[in-house]
Amino acid sequence: MSVVGRNIPHDSAEGHVAGESIYIDDMPALRNELIVDYVGSPFAHGKLKSIDCSEALKIPGVVACYTHEDLAHNRLGPIIQDEPLLVDDEAMFLGQPVVVIAAETKSALARAKKAVKIEMEELVATLTINEAKDRNEYLDREYTVARGDVETAFKNSKHMIEGTIVVGGADHFYLESQACVAVPGEYDQMTLHSSTQAPSEIQHTTAHVLGLMQNQVVCITKRMGGGFGGKESQATHPAAMAALVAHKTKRPARLVYIKDDDMKYTGKRHPFQNDYKVSFNDDGLITGLQVRYFADGGAYNDLSIAVLGRAITHSDNAYFIENAHLTGRICRTNLPPNTAFRGFGGPQGVITIENILEEIAAYLGKDAFDVRRVNLYGIDERNTTPYGQVVQNNTLHRIFERIEKSADYRSRVKAVRDFNAQSKTHLKGIAVTSVKFGISFTNTMLNQANALVNVYLDGTVQVSTGATEMGQGVNTNIKMLVADELGIDPATVIAMPTSTEKNNNTSATAASSATDLNGSAAVDACSKIKSRLAEVAARYFASREAGIGAYPDSIKFDDGYVWDERRPENKLPFKDIVGMAYRARVSLGERGHYATKGIEFDWVAGKGAPFLYFTMGAAVSEVTIDRFTGDMKLDGVDIVMDIGKSINPGINRGQIAGAFFQGMGWMTNEELKYTDKGNLLNYSPTTYKIPNIQDLPLRFNIETVENHNTPNVRGTKAVGEPPLLLGISVYAAVKNALSYLSGDEIPCLTAPATNEEILGRLMYYETADSAANNDGKQAAPIGWSGDSMNGTSYSNDAGMLVPTIKHGSLRPVSESIARGFSVASNKAGSPKAKVAQK
């Protein structure tokens, strides 16, 4: 009986509930351990003049202060090594580390941080994408993917829309902050216990900045209290600072960020500002698409090149686009370097095309579901992406057919329409969006993994891989794959802490590929062990009397037993065959390796097949909006996903639900607020709002499409990131609700669609509607008294009618009202709709 497909509890479930699971700061203090922290730049952009640590070093309990001069090398970065660990010339973001302090007590450390004197000249800071564009501040070259003839498509098109969509960032909000314990050993060796998604990156970076060889550094990761991409590259900084102290003092050192500092000074999801132009026919079929992506990379490159690349390669999402011209630049701003975040640029690409499809539907007066369906990728034709990859095993049409029925979509659309025709206090919206998410690292070399499997004499197994556990269940998946391959009970398999000593040169646990890569490597190792065991078993089960020779191919492993299929009545426990193999001096340990086949991509040409397969799905979301306050409630969500053959259905269901709600939070609640000096204002759980139980819908359904044609280990498909992109359906539902008020205008909406953002749009459309019904005279929006409208202005720098409250408690439209707007036109070029954008 196959282990794959069973619901087996997460391997840390009991430990989490009992409080026995160990995280970095749960590790007991070691003898002579030092506490580490740092002093950062006081400015978002500044020129370093001098550093004075003399007073700090006089404080009892303070052991050392270190600066860039104490490092062997002072540049790091996962793609381009452009970021200093410690400021040596210019500070490029507020709080950027300048001085590392080591102390024996927290109180001494706190006093020392105040005593360090940093002299710095404040320079002009670039804090927005628009400022970066104006100042021509970019981190890298322009990247392009193109197909067909966009200009001809535009010239011959009957309908066109162009505009800008602004997409905000988000904080990872993992429960365990960045953390590391560094333990020095003999001969300058170092062991790092790090909360990281990339132990090999920690090893390589630490060795580099300290001037050590990589074989002198070992990184161990038992688990993380969440990661979501935030610990893929930025866990290197606290690890390197703790290692610096341990290396210099020869004492253990611990650095754990407090939550406030973690949120203030680590990178976020990349904000994007995307300019688009699209042509289409009367059915809503896209004939040409042009998108210019502008990503806010922050102060340094980090992973921005790869994030932008995935955004561009997800511009199509689930839809065939015959003529496309897609370009992208990374803007440099004086904010912490933005980094990996679940979805890794894919969401910023997908929301752009989903927003466009909503606008096409509004322009044509069609149901957006039908517009999306007419644009879906085909099976045998219209099945190639703009970058040249064939979309194989396409289940999108099945998914759309299923969700239309299971969500009772048509009836609910009618109910929404009827409700909006009657209600004067509330507004409803409903939308379906899709996802086609490419699975593999877009950097081909990262698509490899190795594993170590050890079988012990009692029949139990240890498996070590480069995958790191951050709550997503990768260890459970891997131990189930090992158990399935060896035909044993998963309870007899343990996934060991990830260590660079056991698994070398590993890729980060990212790109939704951890199970795919590391699970495949583990299966490869098990297959080699099983082959040797089969030879031992074949000799044992051979019988001259019965005329049965020793044929290893006839040996079966299942349910903890081993037998020859020609004599199934004669079975031995797995551990007995293991014992025989040991006595026969047969190896019971093995390394496995896996490299994804058939993938490649050339960014110079903008062509290739970067993904092994695509995870696909769709979601219908329905919302209700209070027209007086802008308060939005999510009424119901229906999800249908093709996840292949699930290894563990329960874990996958949890991943789908969790990813959706995280995506919903990014789309609705989680707005980052900065001052004009680069200070993050909402940097704690009290001011940064992730979804809570009251934000979740009462009606929430998840269905999966059975699909056994996936070219992956055991036919499974990755679900770590793809469902997050379905949270865009909530944004689209809000946009749909606004279409009931916008009249001839295409409703526009900035992400996240917070209550304030929604209220601003409501006021604009309500005011415009009231003015139209009163012979052009301005009238207060519904829910506002005449007094509350005193001092209201109705214009922005684009000349659009947008209300801003001067004397009220609300400012519905933010300070950064856009320089652009959307214009929809027919072939003759006469405008049909014009909309202000943030």
**Tokens 């803007």 found at:** 331
Can you read off the two tokens belonging to residue 393? 């095993």
Q: What is the pLDDT of residue 809?
A: 25
Work out the mean pLDDT of the chain and round it to a whole number: 92
Can you read off the two tokens belonging to residue 487? 């035909």
Beta carbons within 8 Å of 223's beta carbon, 6+ residues apart = 12, 21, 22, 23, 468, 469, 470, 471, 497
Residue pair 468/185 in contact (Cβ under 8 Å)? The answer is no
Percentage of the chain lying above the pLDDT 70 cut: 91
pLDDT of residue 838 exceeding 60, the answer is: no
- What residue type is assigned to position 798 of the chain? A
Query: Average of pLDDT values for 493-508?
Result: 98
Q: What is the pLDDT of residue 544?
A: 65
Q: What is the pLDDT of residue 807?
A: 23
* Per-position DSSP letters for 112-136, written without gaps between them: HHHH-EEEEEE-PPP-SHHHHHHTT
**Tokens 């970095």 found at:** 24
Residue pair 788/808 in contact (Cβ under 8 Å)? The answer is yes
Q: What is the pLDDT of residues 85-138, one digit of tens each?
A: 999 999 999 999 999 999 999 999 999 999 999 999 999 999 999 999 999 999
Quickly state the pLDDT bin for 579 (edges 50, 70, 90): very high
Nearest to 172 by CA among 51, 336, 387: 336
Q: How many CA atoms lie within 13 A of 785 on its CB side?
A: 4
166 secondary structure, DSSP code: E
Return the minimum-mean-pLDDT range out of 245-249, 351-355, 645-649, 809-813. Answer: 809-813
Can you read off the two tokens belonging to residue 108? 């001494």
pLDDT of residue 671 exceeding 60, the answer is: yes
Concerning whether 721 is annotated as a catalytic residue, the answer is: yes
Quickly state the pLDDT bin for 784 (edges 50, 70, 90): very low
Residue pair 449/594 in contact (Cβ under 8 Å)? The answer is yes
Q: What is the pLDDT of residue 488?
A: 98
Q: What is the pLDDT of residues 734-783, one digit of tens each?
A: 999 999 999 888 999 999 999 999 999 999 988 766 555 655 443 333 33
Quickly state the pLDDT bin for 549 (edges 50, 70, 90): confident
pLDDT of residue 329 exceeding 50, the answer is: yes
Q: What is the pLDDT of residue 631?
A: 97
Q: What is the pLDDT of residue 771?
A: 59
Indicate the pTM of the whole model. 0.93
Q: What is the pLDDT of residue 773?
A: 60
**SS3 category, 41:** coil
Q: CA 551, CA 546: separation in Å to the nearest integer?
A: 14
**Tokens 């290197």 found at:** 236
Q: What is the pLDDT of residues 608-652, one digit of tens each?
A: 999 999 999 999 999 999 999 999 999 999 999 999 999 999 999
Q: What is the pLDDT of residue 547?
A: 72
pLDDT of residue 565 exceeding 70, the answer is: yes
Q: What is the pLDDT of residue 706?
A: 83
pLDDT of residue 795 exceeding 50, the answer is: no
Percentage of the chain lying above the pLDDT 90 cut: 89
pLDDT of residue 412 exceeding 50, the answer is: yes
Query: Average of pLDDT values for 228-240?
Result: 98
Buried/exposed 219-244: b ≥16 CB within 10 Å, e otherwise = bbbbbbbbbbbbbbbbbbbbbbbbbb
Nearest to 427 by CA among 838, 836, 759: 759
**Alpha helices, H only, 173-235:** 199-210
Q: What is the pLDDT of residues 682-719, one digit of tens each?
A: 999 899 999 999 999 989 999 999 888 899 999 999 99
Work out whether strand 600-602 and strand 448-455 pair parallel, antiparallel, or are unpaired: unpaired
pLDDT of residue 808 exceeding 60, the answer is: no
Q: What is the pLDDT of residues 418-432, one digit of tens each?
A: 999 999 999 999 999
Q: How many CA atoms lie within 13 A of 553 on its CB side?
A: 0
**Which position among 622, 721, 757, 766 bears the catalytic label?**
721
Residue 542, Cα to own-chain centre: how many angstroms?
54
pLDDT of residue 139 exceeding 90, the answer is: yes
Quickly state the pLDDT bin for 143 (edges 50, 70, 90): very high
Q: What is the pLDDT of residue 766?
A: 80
Q: What is the pLDDT of residue 772?
A: 59
Return the minimum-mean-pLDDT range out of 12-16, 199-203, 501-505. Answer: 12-16
Buried/exposed 595-623: b ≥16 CB within 10 Å, e otherwise = ebeebebebeebbbbbbbbbbbbbbbbbb
**Alpha helices, H only, 542-615:** 574-583
**SS3 category, 536:** helix
Residue pair 76/208 in contact (Cβ under 8 Å)? The answer is yes
Query: Average of pLDDT values for 670-681?
Result: 97
Q: CA 274, CA 271: separation in Å to the nearest integer?
A: 10
Return the minimum-mean-pLDDT range out of 33-47, 323-337, 478-492, 813-827. Answer: 813-827
What value, to the nearest 5°, has the Cα angle with vertex 443 and ends 441 and 445? 100
pLDDT of residue 794 exceeding 80, the answer is: no
- What residue type is assigned to position 157 of the chain? S
R_g over Cα of the chain = 29
